[in-house]
Amino acid sequence: MTQLCQENNISRVTNGARVRSKIESLKDWARAIKRDVVALWLAARDSRVPAIAKVVAGIVAAYALSPIDLIPDFIPVLGYLDDLVIVPLGIMLVIRLIPAALFAELRDKADAVTARPVSRAAALSIIAIWVLLTAMLVWIVFIRPDQPLF
């Protein structure tokens, strides 16, 4: 009986590890798609890219970044399916149209563009502004309710 319980626990652990592995690979794929969309946007503006590749890269990047889809996202399954099929196929087409060394350079630029610096001073200043605005609102509405606002 204990051996059966141990086997069940081991299979649960390995299944959990497989699920985490799949989730991580999907996250990596999504990051790569995001990076490649930025690389396409850069390719559409680069003078070294062939004209047809610029046009296709611009269309694919615009479609990927646009809030308007061919099939709206609220339609079950099909709404997200177009994003999961059209954008990667467009990226693959543009990758075939652009020389490999140039696209690798554009990917490196895209990585640099999407890497966001962390500024604690900016975060603190934004928090301070929100705190001051909230305090002013509380003071105007609750502490001085008898006074007109303007």
Give Cβ neighbours of residue 41 (< 8 Å, ≥ 6 apart): 57, 58, 61, 65
Asked if residue 148 and residue 83 are part of one domain, the reply reads no
Asked if residue 150 and residue 130 are part of one domain, the reply reads yes
Asked if residue 148 and residue 100 are part of one domain, the reply reads no
Assign 9 a pLDDT band (cuts: 50, 70, 90): low
Q: Domain range for residue 127?
A: 119-150
Asked if residue 81 and residue 37 are part of one domain, the reply reads yes
Asked if residue 134 and residue 112 are part of one domain, the reply reads no
Asked if residue 144 and residue 72 are part of one domain, the reply reads no
Question: pLDDT tens, 70-92?
Answer: 777 777 777 777 778 888 999 99
Asked if residue 88 and residue 43 are part of one domain, the reply reads yes
Assign 13 a pLDDT band (cuts: 50, 70, 90): low
Asked if residue 96 and residue 140 are part of one domain, the reply reads no
Question: pLDDT tens, 85-125?
Answer: 888 999 999 999 999 999 999 999 998 887 776 778 888 89
Tell whether the model's pLDDT for residue 16 goes beyond 70: no
Q: Can you give the pLDDT at residue 108?
A: 93
CA distances from 108 to 32, 34, 40 (A): 12, 13, 12
